[in-house]
Amino acid sequence: MATPTIPAAASEVEQLDRADILHGFATLHAQASSDVVVINSADGMRVTDSRGREFLDAGGGLWCMNVGYGRQAITDAAAAQMAKLPYFHSFGHFSNEPLIRLADRLLKLAPPGMARAIFCSSGSEANDTQIKVVRRYNNLLGRREKKKIIARLNSYHGSTVAAGSLSGLPMMHESFDLPIPGILHTLSTDYLRRPAHIRSPEQFTQYLVDGLTQLIEAEGPHTIAAFLAEPITGTGGVLVPPPGYFREVKRVLDHYDILLIADEVITGFGRTGSWFASPGLELKPDLMTVAKGLTSGYFPMSASLLSAKVADVLYADRSSHAMFAHGFTSSGHPVGAVIANANLDILEREDLPGNAARVGTYLLERLRERFDGHPLVGEIRGKGLLIGIELDADPAVRRPFAEYPKVSSLLSKACFAERLLVRGGHDRTMAALAPPLIATRADADEIVARLGRAIDRVTGEVKSAGLSA
């Protein structure tokens, strides 16, 4: 087969990229020889690169493209706001009307009890903000030792120094001297990789809750300030909690007076088939982090939401240090706020959470049919349009690949060859799906067809390379 020629302009920008940009989550030594995919345009579910290749974006960018690409209403709202007021800050007593409308709307949409919003630009910043809120809360209550935060293994909460510490992925810690002191990790809801003696999801819940209790007891409950969790773990493997998990966790946290922070950065704004994933999982947060789907990636914007329980303590401070000395230049950006409002209009008007529930159920069923008895598919799990397909060397005994990075690389290449963009797994071989919530059944069929061909190809390659041994 003849190698397709690369347009000269595309080749030039690819070279410049290789020479100039250090990409996050890239293997740097391989950069000089690896492909650069320069995405130039997008519409609906699809993105197109500088070589003219069109991809079905089943990863929703980075799990954030909820309303789909090319929404004119968002572009128009942003352009009008740019012309009227392109920027102003929200420190001290300054505000702007789009932001005020957004905050009001957000607090009404959020699970019951959320009383205040702090705006930031990224999910990482919003989680960092939660740490500071929790510290200040306990300082004001005179509990100077109650500062540690428990997150979970396999979680992803961002990549700043603090949020990267919260993330439970060793590769994010190893060469950056993380985690910082005061961040602990407990067991993850990874049912596929459960210990051999666990026989049922209910038993698994008990095992996880016991693990959390033991950690709290070992550290001293008076030192633990908060527990942070994604309702459904996203980047760390699309891990759905076993039944009753958050109800039981909350019981333990209440017993020790520990706050619960829900990181709804991926799961928020319809992704799992409802506005937020927490209520359906009996997760009752004291604090909640949102980002991504808040603007569907059209603008970098996030928020830390505070319940009245926490906010009231902060607002009662009359000391000489009462100023909340925290915030960012772009916090509460007016253009971001109109974009978020236009995005929420679309989610509401088109009932995209409902569509995510319906098409997500359909997609999950089609995937389970397509891969029924497949020699490499270990588990298919998820909720709404957040689905993970994990591969195993031997699904019958839940044996992962010894050389999972190699198999993961084959899988991502095979999906790419099918013009299908998916998210991968970190210490596992998987295809994670988080397509735009506008997906139709036909789109779901297309995802299954392309992923099916990709996984079949990987199966042949794994066999011939002896990687399932």
Ligand X SMILES: Cc1ncc(COP(=O)(O)O)c(C=O)c1O
Closest approach of ligand X to the CB of residue 208, in Å: 19
For the segment 184-213, give every residue that binds ligand X (CB under 6 A): none
Closest approach of ligand X to the CB of residue 103, in Å: 19
**DSSP string computed for 389-435:** EEE-SBGGGTBPPTTHHHHHHHHHHHHHHTTEE-B--SSS-EEEE--
Task: Name the closest residue to ligand X (Cβ).
Answer: 123
Rank residues 434 and 467 by Cβ distance to ligand X and give the closer one: 434
Work out whether 291 is an interface residue with ligand X (CB under 6 A).
Answer: yes
Rank residues 213 and 295 by Cβ distance to ligand X and give the closer one: 295
List the Cα angle 161/166/168 in 5-degree steps.
Answer: 120
Work out whether 78 is an interface residue with ligand X (CB under 6 A).
Answer: no
Closest approach of ligand X to the CB of residue 137, in Å: 21
Which stretch of DSSP H or E encloses residue 365? helix 352-370
d(CA 374, CA 366): 14
Rank residues 47 and 266 by Cβ distance to ligand X and give the closer one: 266
Binding-site string for ligand X from residue 374 to residue 413, where x marks contact by CB under 6 A and - marks none: ----------------------------------------
Closest CA to 129 of 303, 315, 269: 303
Residue 193: count of CB within 10 angstroms of its CB? 17
Per-residue 3-state assignment (H helix, E strand, C coil) for 189-225: CCCCCCCCCCCCHHHHHHHHHHHHHHHHHHHCHHHEE
Work out whether 285 is an interface residue with ligand X (CB under 6 A).
Answer: no
Residue 24: count of CB within 10 angstroms of its CB? 6
Binding-site string for ligand X from residue 240 to residue 279, where x marks contact by CB under 6 A and - marks none: -----------------------x-xx-------------
Residue 202 has φ and ψ, to the nearest 5°, of: -65, -45
d(CA 211, CA 438): 39
* Of 40-48, 138-146, 228-236, 273-281: span binding ligand X (CB under 6 A): 228-236
Q: Length of the chain, please?
A: 469
Closest approach of ligand X to the CB of residue 252, in Å: 22
Binding-site string for ligand X from residue 345 to residue 364, where x marks contact by CB under 6 A and - marks none: --------------------
* Of 44-52, 175-183, 229-237, 430-438: span binding ligand X (CB under 6 A): 229-237
Rank residues 156 and 275 by Cβ distance to ligand X and give the closer one: 156
Closest approach of ligand X to the CB of residue 172, in Å: 11
d(CA 214, CA 352): 41
Residue 289 has φ and ψ, to the nearest 5°, of: -110, 130
Closest approach of ligand X to the CB of residue 330, in Å: 13
Closest approach of ligand X to the CB of residue 315, in Å: 26
Rank residues 300 and 334 by Cβ distance to ligand X and give the closer one: 300
Among 234, 237, 336, 353, binds ligand X (CB under 6 A): 234
d(CA 284, CA 287): 9
Residue 137 has φ and ψ, to the nearest 5°, of: -55, -50
Q: Are 302 and 126 in contact (CB under 8 A)?
A: yes
User: Tokens for 434?
Assistant: 């988080």
Rank residues 156 and 246 by Cβ distance to ligand X and give the closer one: 156
Number of chain positions touching ligand X (CB under 6 A): 15
Work out whether 158 is an interface residue with ligand X (CB under 6 A).
Answer: yes
d(CA 319, CA 232): 39
Rank residues 146 and 185 by Cβ distance to ligand X and give the closer one: 185
Helix %, strand %, coil % of the chain (to 5): 45, 15, 40
Closest CA to 293 of 260, 250, 264: 264
Distance of CA 119 to the CA centre of its chain: 18
d(CA 147, CA 139): 9
* Of 230-238, 239-247, 367-375, 460-468: span binding ligand X (CB under 6 A): 230-238
Rank residues 63 and 401 by Cβ distance to ligand X and give the closer one: 63
Closest approach of ligand X to the CB of residue 58, in Å: 16
d(CA 369, CA 381): 13
Work out whether 157 is an interface residue with ligand X (CB under 6 A).
Answer: yes
Rank residues 122 and 188 by Cβ distance to ligand X and give the closer one: 122
Among 10, 13, 39, 62, binds ligand X (CB under 6 A): 62
Rank residues 376 and 437 by Cβ distance to ligand X and give the closer one: 437
**What contacts 379, CB < 8 A, 6 or more positions away?**
191, 192, 388, 389, 390, 392, 395
Rank residues 124 and 459 by Cβ distance to ligand X and give the closer one: 124
Closest approach of ligand X to the CB of residue 125, in Å: 7
* DSSP three-state, residue 386: strand
Binding-site string for ligand X from residue 103 to residue 142, where x marks contact by CB under 6 A and - marks none: -------------------xxx--x---------------
Binding site for ligand X (CB under 6 A): 62, 122-124, 127, 156-158, 230, 234-235, 263, 265-266, 291
